[in-house]
Amino acid sequence: MKTTQDNTLYDVIISGAGPVGLFLACELALAKCKVLILERAEEPHSPLKQLPFGLRGLNSPSIEALYRRGLLQEMALHKRFKTPHISSNPKPGEKAPGAGHFARIPFNRANFDTTQWKYRLPGSLDTSIFTSMEEIEEVLYRRAENLGVAIKYGIGVTGFDQTDDCVTVQAGDQTFQSKWLVGCDGSRSVVRKAGGFEFAGTEPEFTGYTAKVDIADPEKLHTGGITTERGMYLLSQVDYLIMQDFDGGAFHNSGQPVTLEHVQATLRRISDTDVTITALHLSTTWTDRARQTTAYRNGRVLLAGDAAHIHAPLGGQGLNLGLGDAMNLGWKLAATIHGQAPEGLLDTYYTERYPIGAKVLDWSRAQVTIMKPNPHSQALNAIIRDLIDTRDGATYFAGRVMGLNMHYDLNGKHPMVGYSVPAIEFENGTSINNLMTDGKGVLLSFEDDSQLKSFADTNHLKYISGTAKETFGVKALLIRPDGFIAWATDSEADISELTEAAQRWFK
């Protein structure tokens, strides 16, 4: 086979132009890295991504990340699908809107104890938004192109070789060279397999179906989700059918095509009716297989998104997890490439993101456990239902689903350290999130402070000072480029403490 070679040496090649690959590319390009994305699909939009079940729920960390880079503002759809802001509690007599669910058990916003999120709220950003895969990819694609990322469609990565200095990426009969390779190529990642990453975890309990169907006699079915002794089905008003058939994932794993006859037989069995499906327009199957790579890096090769972790799409966490990977990895990899990374910075990608991923996998497993149609699981389900109806229960479940509890263990003294900076708004109308579009580390002081300003200048940090509408009792904050708080003080800054924190993240 004749091999063609691209002689450009890229800083980073990303395998996969899904949301995670595109967002990572934007982060790297923002930090002046030369990036190439290789995408196996011939063109950006698959029919599945354009369907309503291509809708994705974005949680708080994703919303903040996208907003911080001016990307959320470009999404039109979110206005249509956004849930009300968390601080807009219902008026007396008004029914509080649902805010999310755990194993399809909804929690009620009226029950939230927002004092438990005192450093995260209030803020002007929403805590959950629905957008479509198509839209999120389009906005990210446009941004990546504007930032100069090279994107090649119809070129799937097939393997790679790495030395101490670079990676040679094979894509069929073509080769490309880069200093780093990141596999963002989804759940069946070629980069993960070729890189010999261990993908540890648990096997599925069910085959999930999502299908667009025409049903002759929908009155025979319940609307809304229903669990029977044989499984679960949910029929939406627009003819979208979701089913969970607890077959141990056998059908999905068999690779058999999803036919109308098969969907009808499965629905009849689960619903115990003789319902008739007259047309199957589109369908996909999925499982609750939950696996995570035991490392996120092998030499010059890294993984992010579904390539590094997979789990059931229950409660929609996968995209959020992947976007979080990209936001965490981008600035660290860029600093490493530019020789501006303190010792061990890149390793913190794994130490910070692996535990977050592991928690999401367990969250998915826990949901599956109480969704099983057996008496033991249903007994546990009833208990969780009661707990979710309490103030602490609703707050706990919502905090996990909306990502408000998410933080990194950064060993800081102040309770804000390790958390995403709240959407601080200044008297002059700007907000901290508007001031982070350039992806720089920030030293924020709520009072003008010449000592902190000169510290920021010497350490190549962006110094921001302004009167805020709400300071949370804090005087100054050191914020990493991904928006996470590395240091905070309620009193006059202790410069040696600030220096120690800054040296961990910036050089």
Ligand X SMILES: Cc1cc2nc3c(=O)[nH]c(=O)nc-3n(C[C@H](O)[C@H](O)[C@H](O)COP(=O)(O)OP(=O)(O)OC[C@H]3O[C@@H](n4cnc5c(N)ncnc54)[C@H](O)[C@@H]3O)c2cc1C
> Does 286 contact ligand X by CB under 6 A?
yes
Is residue 26 part of the contact set for ligand X (CB under 6 A)?
no
Query: Under the criterion CB under 6 A, does residue 318 sit at the interface with ligand X?
Result: yes
Is residue 99 a contact residue for ligand X (CB under 6 A)? no
Site string for ligand X, 53-72 (x = CB under 6 A): x--xx---------------
The answer to the question of residue 207 lying near ligand X (CB under 6 A) is: no
Cα separation, 66 vs 45, in Å, equals 21
Is 481 an interacting residue with respect to ligand X (CB under 6 A)?
no
Q: Give the range of 34-42, 139-147, 246-254, 446-454 binding ligand X by CB under 6 A.
A: 34-42
The Cα–Cα gap between 40 and 67 comes to 29
Which of 322, 441 has the CB closer to ligand X?
322
Applying CB under 6 A, which part among 12-20, 198-206, 221-229, 497-505 lies near ligand X?
12-20
Q: Which residue, chain included where needed, has tokens 């009300």?
A: 84
Q: How far apart are CA 363 and CA 100, in angstroms?
A: 14
- Residue closer to ligand X by CB (options 38, 423) is 38
Q: Which of 306, 352, 449, 482 binds ligand X (CB under 6 A)?
A: 306
Q: Does 249 bind ligand X (CB under 6 A)?
A: no
Element at 160 (helix H, strand E):
strand 159-162
Minimum CB separation of residue 189 from ligand X in Å reads 7
What DSSP character marks residue 443? E
Of the candidates 61, 123, 313, 330, which one interacts with ligand X according to CB under 6 A? 313
Does residue 488 interact with ligand X by CB under 6 A?
no
288 forms part of the interface with ligand X (CB under 6 A): no
Q: Give whichever of 135 and 306 is closer to ligand X, judged by the CB atom.
A: 306
Q: Where are the alpha helices (DSSP H) in 372-464?
A: 375-388, 391-401, 450-458
User: What CA–CA distance (Å, rounded) separates 307 from 285?
Assistant: 18
Q: Which of 40, 120, 252, 297 binds ligand X (CB under 6 A)?
A: 40
Choices 74-82, 295-303, 319-327, 328-336; region in contact with ligand X by CB under 6 A: 319-327
Measuring CA to CA, how many Å separate 90 from each of 94, 98, 111, 276, 382?
A: 6, 11, 11, 41, 27
Phi, psi of 309 (to 5 degrees): -155, 140
Does residue 327 bind ligand X (CB under 6 A)? no
Which secondary structure element, helix H or strand E, spans residue 129, and what is its range? strand 128-132
16 binds ligand X (CB under 6 A): yes
Greatest CA separation for the chain: 76
Q: Are 143 and 326 in contact (CB under 8 A)?
A: no
Of 128, 287, 320, 445, which one interacts with ligand X (CB under 6 A)? 320
Query: At 179, which helix (H) or strand (E)?
Result: strand 174-183
Residue type, 445: S
- DSSP string of 337-366, one letter each residue: HTT-PPTTTTHHHHHHHHHHHHHHHHHHHH
C-alpha distances (whole Å) from 319 to each of 225, 310, 357 are 23, 10, 11
Binding span for ligand X by CB under 6 A among 39-47, 82-90, 265-273, 374-382: 39-47
Contact 173, 3 (CB under 8 A): yes
319 binds ligand X (CB under 6 A): yes
Footprint (CB under 6 A) of ligand X, residues 146-165? 156-157
Looking at the Cβ atoms of 18 and 249, the one nearer to ligand X is 18
Q: Which residues bind to ligand X, rule: CB under 6 A?
A: 15-21, 38-41, 53, 56-57, 156-157, 184-186, 190, 210, 286, 305-306, 313, 316-320, 322
